[in-house]
């Protein structure tokens, strides 16, 4: 863009920020309240932007406002521009002092129970002033909204969306596990068939096609276990295992790095690895901060034994 033309001289970061808040809040009045400015200032700013660009950016309705297709384009590019500015500030801070910095990242609950604490522990020993903020949730949404720089999670399919990069870290070994008070916990030899009718807690994904549990039972010609409880909650799973009655499936990274290794007993039943890898997910064409690069490098270092099958 030639910054001597009218758009270059009249588009201001403050105005784009106001537009972003209006779109997020769905109302000029609510945006004005959040920004601590008057509603006429908000309305005038939006009108000036629309006049500068020559298109309508927001549709006004009795329920509030919503971005037009033109508005969505400007909002998406504005979000990227603000994110790049934030990243430049982070990089300057890191260059000034490589021991400080903030990381916004995402992960699945299972990674939060094992691998992520292991990486944070090692990295924070090397750089004690780093701060880490981790979110659970939908990876694609978090990345597109630039709430996080990357997400570490097991892929749910082999098809990754076009705007997202995926780097496989390792294929997760999994184990059938019980609480230490369970009747199976002391057995040295267990046939898979003996566990088919036990009470299980499983995540829905663990009963889908390609799951190690499904593959193992099918290979033995056995019916799939009937899960008494379905869910993804690790606290719920640990609470049920503590009763000494339930069985479950636990990722090897949780047993290797997490506190669960003190609470659970893996049973001597061999399962295949997950065919879908644990991966680092990033948004294409997004610049990662130095702290994000540090974390990713440390994660690669820690999962080396898992990737090699050690």
Q: What is the pLDDT of residue 310?
A: 63
Superfamily of chain region 97-169+277-308 = Periplasmic binding protein-like II (3.40.190.10)
Give the domain 174-266 fold: D-Maltodextrin-Binding Protein; domain 2 (3.40.190)
* Burial class of residue 162, CB neighbours in 10 A (0-12, 13-18, 19+): exposed
In angstroms, the Cα distances linking 199 to 124, 209, 228, 275, 295 are 40, 21, 6, 26, 39
CA–CA gap between residue 77 and residue 83 (Å, rounded):
10
* 6-76, CATH topology level: Arc Repressor Mutant, subunit A (1.10.10)
Domain ranges of the chain: 6-76, 97-169+277-308, 174-266
| pLDDT, tens digit, 9 for 90 and up, residues 130-187 | 999 999 988 988 999 888 999 999 988 888 888 999 999 999 989 999 998 899 998 9
Q: Give the model's pLDDT for residue 309.
A: 67
How large is the average pLDDT for residues 282-307?
A: 90
Q: Are 222 and 192 in contact (CB under 8 A)?
A: yes
In 3D space, the residue among 79, 157, 8 whose CA is nearest the CA of residue 87 turns out to be 79
Q: Kind of pairing, strands 58-61 and 64-67?
A: antiparallel
Split at pLDDT 50, 70, 90, the class of 5 is low
pLDDT digits (tens, 9 = 90+) for 220-244: 999 888 899 999 888 898 899 999 9
Contact of 280 with 299, CB cutoff 8 Å: yes
Mapping DSSP to helix (H, G, I), strand (E, B) and coil, where does residue 232 land?
A: coil
Q: How far apart are CA 194 and CA 270, in angstroms?
A: 14
Residue 179 in tokens = 């609480």
Give yes or no for a contact between 93 and 100, defined as CB atoms under 8 angstroms apart.
yes
Report, in angstroms and rounded to the nearest whole number, the Rg of the chain calculated over CA atoms. 25
pTM (2 decimals)?
Answer: 0.74
Cβ atoms within 10 Å of 118's Cβ, excluding its own? 18
> ∠ at Cα 284 (278, 290), nearest 5°?
80
Q: Do domains 97-169+277-308 and 174-266 have the same CATH topology?
A: yes
Q: Which two tokens stand for residue 151?
A: 């997400």
pLDDT of amino acid 152: 96
**pLDDT mean over 87-115:** 84
Interhelix angle 39-53/28-35, nearest 10 degrees:
110
Average of per-residue pLDDT across 82-97: 78
- pLDDT higher than 90, residue 107: yes
Q: Return d(Cα 229, Cα 213) in angstroms, integer.
A: 16
């Amino acid at each position: 863009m030639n910054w001597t033309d009218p758009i270059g001289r009249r588009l201001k970061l403050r105005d784009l920020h106001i537009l972003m808040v209006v779109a997020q809040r769905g109302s000029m009045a609510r945006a004005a309240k959040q920004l601590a400015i008057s509603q006429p200032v908000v309305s005038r700013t939006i009108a000036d932007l629309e006049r500068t660009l020559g298109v309508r950016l927001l549709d006004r309705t009795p329920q509030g406002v919503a971005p037009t297709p033109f508005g969505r384009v400007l909002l998406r590019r504005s979000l990227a521009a603000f994110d790049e500015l934030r990243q430049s500030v982070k990089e300057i801070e890191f260059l000034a002092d490589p021991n400080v910095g903030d990381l916004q990242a995402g992960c699945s609950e299972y990674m939060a129970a094992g691998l992520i604490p292991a990486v944070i522990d090692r990295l924070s020993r090397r750089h004690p002033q780093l701060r880490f903020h981790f979110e659970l949730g939908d990876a694609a949404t978090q990345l597109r909204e630039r709430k996080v720089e990357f997400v570490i999670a097991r892929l749910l399919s082999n098809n990754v969306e076009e705007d997202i990069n995926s780097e496989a870290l390792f294929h997760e070994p999994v184990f059938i596990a019980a609480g230490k008070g369970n009747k199976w916990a002391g057995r040295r030899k267990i046939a898979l068939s003996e566990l088919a009718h036990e009470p299980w807690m499983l995540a829905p994904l663990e009963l889908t096609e390609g799951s190690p549990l499904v593959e193992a039972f099918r290979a033995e010609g056995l019916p799939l276990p009937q899960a008494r409880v379905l869910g993804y909650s690790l606290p719920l799973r640990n609470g049920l295992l503590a009763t000494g009655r339930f069985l479950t499936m636990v990722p090897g990274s949780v047993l290797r790095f997490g506190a669960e290794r003190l609470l659970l007993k893996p049973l001597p039943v061999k399962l295949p690895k997950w065919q879908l890898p644990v991966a680092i997910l990033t948004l294409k064409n997004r610049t990662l901060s130095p702290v994000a690069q540090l974390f990713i490098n440390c994660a690669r270092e820690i999962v080396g034994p898992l990737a090699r099958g050690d």
